[in-house]
Structure 1
Amino acid sequence: MGIGKEVSSNNLVVEEFRTTGNKTPQYIAALSVCLGSVAAGTVLGWTSNIDLTKGILNNLEITTDQVNWIGSLVTLGGVFVCFPIGYFCDFVGRKLAMLSMIILFSIGWLLIIFASNVTMIYLGRFLTGIAGGAFCIAAPMYTSEIAEKEIRGTLGSYFQLLLTVGILVANVLGVYANIKTFCIVCFCIPLVFGIVFLFQPETPVYSLKKGNEEDARKAIRKLRGSGYDVDAELRELKVQIEAEKSLQISLKESLKKKATQKAFVISFGLMIFQQMSGINAVIFFTSTIFRQAGANFSFSPTIIVGIMQVIATFVSSTIVDKFGRKILLIASDSMMALSSVALGIYFTLQDRKILNEEQISVISFLPILSLCVFIVVFSLGYGPIPWMISSEVFPSEIKSVASSAAGTLNWFIAFIVTKYYQPLTVLIGTDITFYIFTLISISGTLFVYFIVPETKGKSLDEIQRELGGEKIESEGIDNKAFS
């Protein structure tokens, strides 16, 4: 551990400073902000284990088409917020922006709890979708700006991890609690986030950008410990901020560069393949898929799926810097394709009456096994890594706008899939729908192999140079993109 020394002009006492900070306050800050991710996860998982068509919510008569809208309006909220939240974070600060989302969460859940008509549920889901989508942008931004580089990757993975925890909470509550209790707990989670996160500092990066060096100093001291060399990090951050200012060019000018064009193809392609794989249809309509499959279990399969998703996301956070992004994406999408085709085959055998009921019961394990494998391998690769690569391939001068655009595209595709999944199964059959997901996953695997570069172990500058056409030594699978 390095030591710095400072001599006081008053008493000539030598004070020693650490050049690496205390990691515990940083872990606490990251976990506290990601409690908002738990709140977002409950929003995403709310429809997975309840059947709203049975009048369980305030005795409202809700049609299947209305259920589709209730599920998909969350993603429209995410589409709506991706661009505004970036500007809002720059205007009021990362901390206040996220605390303000508690208002939207609260209003949204109250509308659902006291809904007297379906329109109130629609509005509640849209508002909670805005709040949840805001955390997809703001929480990773906060953790990246408060963390030392040695643990930035780990802290950055907490958002996706606690998002899956929130989905699991929703799965459990959907089984063991009545609908009102379920909604009340979801209403309380953002409030708990607010109480815990209120005591965390604003990021030093934001404070410096606003010219408030004293607040930045206090934040670093709180996040690193009292014996840390605050001045050294302040100087480094100032240099970084000034460098970013000097690099500012318009999006139009940046798009003339070969590296930027490739970055958009890579990032947008990964977002499209991630959502078109059918993941949100699986998460939103897990119980519906099992009912269609005729699966009969003494336990809730959605809870098992949720637990495995949490475990897989945790494992992914520990191995992504060891194995690399590209190999995990290829392995993930390949297994997703196998899982989708297995589900398609099951529904073909059942729905096309190829097997009788007794024969189908023998393979009744196949739906839960396929969905568990699908969600586990998605969580290991195609879930978190597209967001990670998106943050790595865009040049710094347009990263904010480009990342928001990628996020908007992601949420929009998620809306299309969740809104039209069930109508598509009615129109062409559940089996054909999953065969389409299979073809998309195969295409996504080929896209990663031929187009996506390995970014493991490379600096952001090296990535830009490689996208620009320079040959960079890489680990893992060679990049065949744009040769």
Structure 2
Amino acid sequence: MTTSTAYFWTAPILPKFHSNETRIRISNSEISWVVAMISPGMVTGSLAASGVSDKFGRRVTLLASALPFIIGTAFVLHATKPWLLYIGRFLWGLGSGMITTVTSVYLSEIADKEIRGTLTAGTRFMFSFGALLMLAIGSFVSYQVLSYFLIALPICYFLACWRIPETPYYLLKEGKVDTAKKELMRLSGNKNEKMIEEKLSQMRSDVRKEMQRSSSAKELLTGKQYRKAVIVTAGLRFTQLFAGSIPIQQYMGRIIQQSNCGLRVSTALVIFGAVRFVVGFISPMIVDKVGRRPLLIYTYLGSCVMLAMVGAYFFLQQVIGIDDESTNPFRFVVFVGIVISIVISSIGFDTLIFIIPSEIFPLNVRSVAMTVLNIFSAFVTFIVVKGYQPMEDWTGLYGIFWLYAVMAFIGAIFTYFIVPETKGKSLREIQIELQGNIYDQPDDLLKSRDEAEINENTELKEITR
């Protein structure tokens, strides 16, 4: 929710900039930098999260991510010049990069396969709830009041996450078998010692196997066993970002102003936020019931149709030159088309893009993979968001929406031919499907060590080193 408010802050704030409702005087070019500066912050946050989460644990990293949000909001609150907003947005990106890198890893490591998708989709529900708060409150309060509200959220987030457990996978990687068993019992709510021992034994076997392999970024990008996972995640993330949901939502207030749809910006933002919030209830309920592949394909195609329709409206308005009176019967096309497009993407690819990467990378490179993926995403997001204003100046709004439609269509094609199904499969089963016989090769390397009579805690710690 904290991350979401940072993303959606621009939606109600940009119209205030254009209407001179703040003490900051800012040009369109400077606004594009304000919107885009969250992406470099995400790169930095992702890099920081990788090292911290592997050394100090997933839990500590999640707690530490609250600090950049608090400091960043202080810059935004007292900003009188655009460069102060750049710093604030950068720090928000830093915190967001830490959260998004670790959250998916954390949930994939604590959840059973039956509820893994639902839990991860639940974070997207909270993302939608944060968007609703920002859109509902932001349009009706002053810039200063909204900034004070944003300071409170990361503090609440820190307190809420104080008592969350560390993941059993991480504890096993560190050789803390007894603690891992205790946390596994706490997470599963299962008091059956035999079942817990069986599950822990399988997890220990997987950890030993995966920790025999290198965990560097070079190994991730060059290792044959990770090739398909890298292609799948990079392709999905590229098409998802170029399908435009992030820039559309961040420029939502300004788009409504330009569309002449007949709705006040504040009303449109509240309706948009409410619909997005309701959709947040739906996604967790269906993500583990419908396969990942069909949900990706159909939502990419549905979003493509809606985006193309919005682009056609702006083409008629800006190129053909149909005046406001003659376009009255169609003036709600933009708002309705955007809302339906975001609804479709939120149910499908915008949610699944956070689930699939955490499922298809093995433990030894999972943290590194999420870091590399977030850095890649941040660069692409920066290009998409920063390029929005120059693209509008060059082609008009119709060119932007048609580009997004084409990329959504490419996403559907990519999914059909490349993306595997992960629904209902354990992390081990997914790795066997992706890597084939390569996945079980480390077992041979471990036979001599398994035969030695050494303490299990020491064994795991030595393998990690």
- Corresponding position: 1:76 with 2:40: yes
> What CA distance in whole angstroms lies between the structure 1 residues aligned with 2:217 and 2:87?
34
| One-letter amino acid of the structure 2 residue matched with residue 109 of structure 1 | T
CA contact (8 A) 2:42 2:378 kept: yes
Equivalent residue, structure 2, for 1:166: 130
Match of 2:231 in 1: 265
1:348 corresponds to: 315
Match of 1:115 among 79, 88, 92: 79
Shift of 1:228: 5.0
Give the direction of change, closer, same or farther, for the CA distance of 1:408–1:371 in structure 2 (3 Å limit). same
- The question of whether the paired residues in 1 share the 8 Å contact of 2:24 and 2:80 is answered with yes
Indicate the residue corresponding to 1:421 in structure 2.
388
| Aligned-pair CA distance for 1:181 | 1.3
Matched, 1:379 2:346: yes
Aligned length: 432
- The residue type paired with residue 258 of structure 2 is Q
Deviations 1:40-80 (A, max 9, x none): 000000001122244434x1111111111111111221122
How many Å apart are 1:402 and its aligned residue?
2.7
- Are 2:102 and 2:367, in contact at CA under 8 Å, matched by a contact in 1? no
Residue 47 of structure 1 is matched in structure 2 by: 10
Distance 1:154 1:171 in 2: 25
Counterparts in 2 of 1:74-153, with a 5 A limit? 74-153=38-117
Q: Which of 272, 276, 289 pairs up with 1:322? A: 289
Give distance in 2, aligned partners of 1:253 and 1:111.
Answer: 39
Mean CA deviation greater in 267-276 or 116-125? 116-125
Choose which of 409, 416, 429 in structure 2 pairs with 1:449.
416
Counterpart check, 1:207 vs 2:174 = no
After superposition, the C-alpha distances for 1:267-291 in whole angstroms (9 at most, x for unaligned) are 1111110001111111100011111
3-state SS of 1:168 partner: helix
For residue 282 of structure 1, the aligned residue among 248, 262, 266 is: 248
Q: Is the 8 A contact 1:53 1:61 kept in 2?
A: no
Letter of the structure 2 residue corresponding to residue 137 of structure 1? T
TM-score for both structures, normalised by structure 2: 0.85
The verdict on how the C-alpha distance between 1:450 and 1:233 changes in structure 2, with shifts beyond 3 A counting, is closer
| Equivalent residue letter for 1:69 | W
Structure with the bigger RCO (C-alpha within 8 Å, sep 6+) is: 2
Distance in 2 of aligned mates of 1:458 and 1:103: 36
Provide closer, same or farther for how the CA distance between residues 149 and 434 of structure 1 changes in structure 2, counting only shifts above 3 A.
closer
Flag the 1:354–1:249 CA change in 2: closer, same or farther, 3 A. closer
Alpha-carbon displacement from aligned partner over 1:288-344 (angstroms, at most 9, x marks no partner): 111110122256222222222233243222222322111111111111111111111
In 2 relative to 1, CA 108–356 (structure 1 residues): closer, same or farther, beyond 3 Å?
A: same
Post-superposition shift, 1:433?
1.7
Question: How far 1:468 moved relative to its partner?
Answer: 5.7
Once superposed, what is the RMSD of the aligned Cα atoms? 2.5
Deviation of residue 172 (structure 1)? 1.0
Are residues 1:56 and 2:24 paired? Answer: no
Q: Which amino acid aligns with 1:147?
A: A
| Cα pair distance change 1:225/1:445, threshold 3 Å | closer
Distance 1:41 1:274 in 2: 17
Contact 2:101–2:367 (CA under 8 A) maintained in structure 1: no
* Aligned AA (1:127): L
Using the alignment, how far apart are the partners of 2:117 and 2:361 within structure 1?
17
CA distance in 2, matches of 1:259, 1:217: 30
- Alignment partner, residue 258 of structure 2: 292
Letter of the 1:112 partner, please give it: V
| 2:301–2:409 Cα contact (<8 Å) kept | yes
Task: Tell me if the contact between 1:76 and 1:126 (Cα under 8 Å) persists in the aligned partners.
Answer: yes
- TM superposition shift of 1:232: 5.2
Identity within the alignment, %: 30
Following TM superposition, by how much is the alpha carbon of 1:204 offset from its aligned partner in structure 2, in angstroms?
A: 3.2
Which residue matches 1:189? Answer: 153
Asked if structure 1 preserves the Cα contact closer than 8 Å seen for 2:215 and 2:368, the reply is no
Deviations 1:436-459 (A, max 9, x none): 212222222222222223333445
Q: Structure 1 residues 268-277 or 316-325, which shifts more?
A: 316-325
Q: Is the 8 A contact 2:104 2:355 kept in 1?
A: no
In 2, the alpha carbon distance for the partners of 1:277 and 1:77 equals 22
Farther-moved stretch of structure 1 (409-418 vs 450-459) = 450-459
Paired AA for residue 232 in structure 2? I
